[in-house]
Amino acid sequence: MARTASVKVEVDHLAPPRQGPRRPETCAQHGSFSRPPPPQTHRAAADRETAPLLESQLVAKFQMALHNSNHVFSVSESALEFPYPGGKVDLIAGGVGGELLAFEAKLSRWRHALHQAYRASTFAHYSFVLVPAGIGDYALRRRGEFEKRGVGLCVLDGTNIRVAIPAQRNEILQPWLTLQAQKHLTRSADAD
């Protein structure tokens, strides 16, 4: 029969447990237990006022800019969120001669938008990625990825639209979906 021995190990080199949570010093200016916010520069405040916080805000600003007379697109109508079997396009617009334009917007993940815009090229004559001004420079570094797919890049800076990379005209692979998108545009225009 085997004997088992119990061994008691005392560890006295460990630190004793803390006596409650450690509280930071209070901030005299704000009266709270947090650090005061860093001082803001004039540029940071201006960026915060013009930069959209949500993707929907970016799309809304872009849609307003599209309908101004001083832009590169000749758009007669536009509609938000066109759902189709491959996903959902953030904004579609009717161009000159019945051409359909699709726009995929992202605040930072422009590569994801590139894939989405490429999927929309099966039914849209022109397909674009829309990003705010600060992200446009990053996306523009990968110009070849856009050109390989025929997808354009639009940068929204305040109310100014800049086409950083022009889109190539797509061969429509799903004409029935193009018709559905054009009907969606008409319904949206009638609702306004």
Residue 170 scores a pLDDT above 90:
yes
Strand order in 100-105's β-sheet?
A: 77-84, 87-94, 100-105, 126-132, 152-157, 160-165
3-state secondary structure of 132: strand
Please state at what angle helix 110-120 crosses helix 133-140, rounded to 10 degrees: 80
48-63 confidence digits (pLDDT tens): 445 557 899 999 999 8
Whether the model clears a pTM of 0.75, i.e. scores above it, the answer is: no
pLDDT at 18 over 70: no
Q: What percent of the chain has pLDDT over 90?
A: 44
**Domain 44-191 part of CATH 3.40.1350:** yes
Contact present, 34 and 66 (Cβ < 8 Å): no
Please report, as a single letter, which amino acid is at residue 94. G
Tell me the domain boundaries of the chain. 44-191
Q: What amino acid occupies position 51?
A: A
- In whole angstroms, what is the distance from residue 28 CA to residue 35 CA? 10
Greater confidence (142 vs 21) lies with 142
Between 104 and 15, whose confidence is greater?
104
